[in-house]
Chains A and B, each alone.
Chain A
Amino acid sequence: MASKQQITDAIYSAIDEVNAAQGSENQIAKDPKAILFGQGGKLDSLGLLTFVLQVEQRVQSAGHPSFTLTDEKAMADTATAFRTVDSLSDYIVSRL
């Protein structure tokens, strides 16, 4: 099972990827407190879905091939689970 730090690193790697399309004023920090979704978030809906799929791919590649972040449960939990890097890490660990 992947540790929380491994999951956080996977999220940071996904942040690196999506930042390429974010513009200098909308860069997402690689910080546990960085806001991903909701008020203060810098991702639009397309950016958020791209980010979610990037994270999903990375977790799958880390030894969890059937892991998904785009099922109904994850979508229903978006507001809380995707709020920050830290909350997303916790959420992913809880679902592994």
Chain B
Amino acid sequence: MDIKNIHCLLIADHTVDQLGAILKSSDDSPVVKASVAPFDQVQQILMNPALSCWKEGANAALVWTRPERAIDAFRRILSRERVTQEELFAEVDEFASLILRASDRVEAVFVPLWTMPAWWRGTGGLELKSRPGAIGAVRALMLMNARLAEKLESNSKVHLLDASRWMASAGKNATNPKLWLMTKALYSLEVFKDAAADIKAILRGIAGLSKKLIVLDLDDTLWGGVVGENGWEGVALGGHDPVGESFADFQRALKGLKNTGVILGIVSKNDEKTAVAAIRENPEMVLKDSDFAGWRINWLDKATNIKELAEELNLGHDSIIFIDDNPAERARVKESLPLVTVPDWPADKMLYTQALHALRLFDRPSVTDEDMGRTDMYVAERQRTEAKSSSVSMEDWLASLQLKVTYEPLGPGNIKRAAQLFNKTNQMNLTTRRMTEAELLAWGQEKNHAMYAYRVADRFGDYGLTGLAAVAVNGAEATVTDFLLSCRVMGRGVEKGMLTTLLDFAKKLGAKKTTAKYIESKRNKPCHDYFKDESGLPKNDAATEFWWNHDQDFPTPTHITLVQGNGADASADPQEIKNEPAHA
């Protein structure tokens, strides 16, 4: 999805013009062009792609309905008519199918969950009960939302939004009966602001712009007090003390983010030995040293330390957020590293967890197994680096890794991660195409096309799905359309293994020559350098085209075991087709 060109069609049965204005004008990125579909014609618009509102170039849609309007069974429940759960679910299923149908027309659909105005309480506790033929309205609403979520969850383009949180956040000002009666606007500007912020957070996530690394200070950030002065026994953390408990809560929230793939790092002005001992020995620490991908604990400038840590972890500054209680340190990092996000941080330590949750910087469309184990990969990487420093030569080091590269077609077991990688990888990326999951699957299934996902593992651990490459064969000519690899595994010969699989496919289909054309982007110079200097492919004078003539075999590295997997189910054991050295 092109983050700079988002046009969202707002489809609603209440006035949402002001949401459109906020999406266009609010300060946080991306700017979203919004157009409002004809009022209160939700079903017709979802059903009919020929309507003019779909022809204005929208690549996203918001479908925001009132439960009693979208689901007639719910209106009847509010009128105390007898409605069974089956009738209710049948209507919800039908509504979900309309949303799914409309999702074919855009790249993202946002669906706020159904809510009732805060002032509505019906008959109190009875609204949570059910008896044969009658369901309480609040209970029905919960069932409807759960059913809707269940029916929509298989479609990765559909993003549900928690509207009840917006309502709670706006409090009694969330809805105003007079506003509804006079303008048919159901929600206040406060609700719309929250909705716009959530939509933008998801859009940033879809575009791969969510933050990947949280760099944390230690004293008065992860625990209360100065460990160098008080020892770890003397800092405020956990226990039966509101400040200590708040730091433990903050660490729990950070650990939760880490478990969804956000990387944690430490940059602290401290004595390293003392600080690491505090992390390892304080039983109240929720975060352990294995939760941190790396750290710089010393007395040097924090901006320099963050820069070094980013290089070590191979992350761009724009994917980093720095959290520090000290305003002077924050100002220094803000000034020196303008791409690093440095949020204002509350002076009141008991508000840290709330401040973290308010950031909206970590939204992603899905979480993969690779995401969940990302920190483990960095810890393993540290061990690899240690092995590298003790190896005599590069060749010895590569051989010592015992690299295994599994290639597989795209399928249900790998498409989420593949799409994520395809749309996020910038450095080792030949053409920087961007496609949705559905588009990737469709492209790979076309005749004479091959699109492979690559899993890489070595003796230290599993990197997971880290590469994607594609080739299209047209008679005697074949073209490498995509070639991308996570920076985590660059420079280990995996690239040549990938080329081998593409060239094998092209040759089998009768190609005499396979060409790879480099398309320059702002960040893909490493890919150009690889093709130019290391791929072993002949090139034109401008070094923008690289090719292989299939009258000779492509020399592949001997230190890799290349294995073919099936891709239909990520958990399936791949079938090893060649033992080492594969394709040699």
Residues of A at the B interface (CB closer than 8 Å) are: 17-18, 20-24, 46-47, 49-50, 53-54, 57, 70
Contacts and interface: CB of A to CB of B under 8 A. Distances in A.
B22 A20 contact: yes
A49 B26 CA distance: 21
Given A21-B22, A46-B18, A49-B183, A70 B178 contact: yes
Contacts, number: 43
Contacts of A54: 189
A45 to B, nearest CB: 8
A46 B189 contact: no
B363 to A, nearest CB: 21
Contacts of B190: 17
Interface of B: 15, 17-18, 21-22, 24-26, 173, 176, 178-179, 182-183, 185, 189-190, 192-193
B3 to A, nearest CB: 20
Contacts of A20: 22, 25-26, 189, 193
B15 A46 contact: yes
Nearest to B173: A57
B25 A22 contact: yes
Q: With a 10 A CB-CB cut-off, give which of A20, A21, A49, A53 has the most chain B CB atoms.
A: A21
Q: With a 10 A CB-CB cut-off, give which of A17, A49, A53 has the most chain B CB atoms.
A: A53
B189 A70 contact: no
B179 A21 contact: no
A53 B22 CA distance: 18
Contact of B192 (A21, A24, A70): A21
18 contacts: A17-B189, A18-B189, A20-B26, A20-B189, A20-B193, A21-B22, A22-B25, A24-B25, A46-B15, A46-B18, A46-B183, A46-B185, A47-B18, A50-B18, A50-B183, A53-B178, A53-B179, A54-B189
CB-CB nearest 6 A-B residue pairs: A21-B21, A21-B18, A23-B25, A21-B22, A49-B183, A49-B182
A18 B17 CA distance: 13
A37 to B, nearest CB: 15
Given A20-B25, A23-B24, 20 more contacts: A17-B189, A17-B190, A18-B189, A21-B18, A21-B21, A21-B25, A22-B21, A22-B25, A46-B17, A46-B183, A49-B182, A50-B18, A50-B185, A50-B189, A53-B176, A53-B179, A53-B182, A57-B173, A70-B178, A70-B182
A54 B188 CA distance: 9
Q: Please report whether the interface of chain B is mostly helix, strand, loop or mixed according to DSSP.
A: helix
A30 B172 CA distance: 25
Contacts of A23: 21, 24-25
A57 B18 contact: no
Contacts of B178: 53, 70
B442 to A, nearest CB: 39
Contacts of A57: 173, 176
A57 to B, nearest CB: 7
A23 to B, nearest CB: 5
Q: With a 10 A CB-CB cut-off, give which of A49, A50, A70 has the most chain B CB atoms.
A: A50
A66 to B, nearest CB: 14
A54 B193 CA distance: 15
B310 to A, nearest CB: 34
A20 B350 CA distance: 30
Contacts of B193: 20
